[in-house]
Amino acid sequence: MKINTPDALDRLRKKAADNLVPLTVHIDLTFRCNEKCVHCYIPKVDVSSELTTRRWMNVLDELAELGTLFMTFSGGEIFLREDIFDILDYSMKKRFSTSIYTNGILLDEIKIARLLKTRPRQVGISIYSMDTAVHDAITGVGGSLKRSMNAMKLLNVAGINVVIKTILMKSNWRGVGEIQKWVSSMGRGAVHQYDMIVSPRHEGFRNEDELNLGHGEKIEFLCMRNSNMEEKERSEGMELKSVKRRLNVAPCSAGRNGAYIGPSGDVQPCIEWLIKCGNVRGSSFKDSWMSAGMDEARAFRIRDLNGCSRCADLQNCQICPGLNKLDTGSALIPSMLSCNRTRAVSEYFKIKIGKQKNG
């Protein structure tokens, strides 16, 4: 099966879900980080519990046997691991299509030349603003914008596909157009993604209400995007659009063809959905994959969510059971963070349609 078209990829995902194949696995290799982002959701860092190089290689062996094709390595900051290139080399050897997320701070020409040899599918870096004061205040590290942008340019010149990610917050959303222009200047090898929700932290202190955009700001942002920005999103398959949602289907891939493994080996259906399914330190991934926790995620259907089946905005909603659980304590109870984003998107669509009708 060719998987270079969206339809083929959808068919592959469905086939994987039907046959319980963990097609896509996200691994956080470390929670250590050299930035201190205001919106970071990562729990307390316990370096001593990180899995060893050898154990990760064994896990990759097993995932390859189970049929995993798409691998994401993230953190924390993965280049803080001294064995990072051993792991990336091994991922290439296992023929995974590998994506990595980094803040780029530690990447220089030598490391990027080394990275190129591991043939990553793409490298994602978060850029919050083109304004140094704004970006560096978000990361908590002076000079971080300069270093992340430098890494991004070097990756682009080396021919590695880059994804620039921006989480919209009160302090940076007005400058996203500038980021978009910069990304466009890098040509086809660079794409931009934005996210309108800061999720709650995975433990303790919550500050997302201080950071997240208000309703009016979300709508203003969506309307502010110029037609070039919308056109680029469309060409990248990332435009905002309504989706006809059927109530008897699962809302997402978590536990169906996707899984997450944390730095100490804990397995969950997804990074956002904190259901403990097992640990690969002392047992196989398959034990976690076939656990009751994964079954719980797999059994989840849109019709199970409180109120969603009657919601007028359902077709505009990116339903996320993981976010629901983090925010409300239950995957079944919709998070207002999700509902508020959806309402802003619905209102934006109405404004857009009104403008089109009025010529």
Which residues of the chain form contacts with ligand SF4 (CB under 6 A)?
252-254, 270, 272-273, 305, 307-308, 311, 313-314, 317, 319-323, 334, 338-339, 342
Rg of the chain over Cα atoms, rounded to whole angstroms, equals 20
* Spatial separation of the C-alpha atoms in residues 228 and 37, rounded to whole Å: 30
Strands (E), 59-148: 70-74, 97-101, 122-126
As given in the structure block, the two tokens for residue 355 are: 């403008």
* Spatial separation of the C-alpha atoms in residues 317 and 342, rounded to whole Å: 5
Nearer to ligand SF4, 88 or 167 (CB): 167
CA distances from 73 to 16, 24, 68, 79, 265 (A): 21, 11, 14, 10, 13
Nearer to ligand SF4, 133 or 238 (CB): 238
Nearer to ligand SF4, 76 or 258 (CB): 258
Shortest Å distance, C-beta 118 to ligand SF4: 26
Nearer to ligand SF4, 148 or 199 (CB): 199
Shortest Å distance, C-beta 233 to ligand SF4: 19
* Spatial separation of the C-alpha atoms in residues 246 and 61, rounded to whole Å: 36
Phi, psi of 312, rounded to the nearest 5 degrees? -70, -20
* Spatial separation of the C-alpha atoms in residues 54 and 359, rounded to whole Å: 62
Nearer to ligand SF4, 69 or 308 (CB): 308
Shortest Å distance, C-beta 311 to ligand SF4: 3
Asked if residues 264 and 50 have their Cβ atoms less than 8 Å apart, the reply is yes
* Spatial separation of the C-alpha atoms in residues 148 and 164, rounded to whole Å: 10
Shortest Å distance, C-beta 129 to ligand SF4: 25
Shortest Å distance, C-beta 17 to ligand SF4: 12
Nearer to ligand SF4, 80 or 275 (CB): 275
Nearer to ligand SF4, 111 or 298 (CB): 298
* Spatial separation of the C-alpha atoms in residues 308 and 316, rounded to whole Å: 11
User: Judging by beta carbons within 10 Å of its beta carbon (0-12, 13-18, 19+), is residue 94 exposed, middle or buried?
Assistant: middle
* Spatial separation of the C-alpha atoms in residues 305 and 269, rounded to whole Å: 18
Shortest Å distance, C-beta 331 to ligand SF4: 8
Shortest Å distance, C-beta 125 to ligand SF4: 20
Residue 195's SS3 state is strand
Shortest Å distance, C-beta 289 to ligand SF4: 15
Q: For residue 27, what is the enclosing H or E element?
A: strand 24-28
Nearer to ligand SF4, 98 or 335 (CB): 335
Nearer to ligand SF4, 139 or 338 (CB): 338
Shortest Å distance, C-beta 202 to ligand SF4: 13
Alpha helices by DSSP H, listed for 164-284, are 176-185, 208-211, 215-224, 227-235
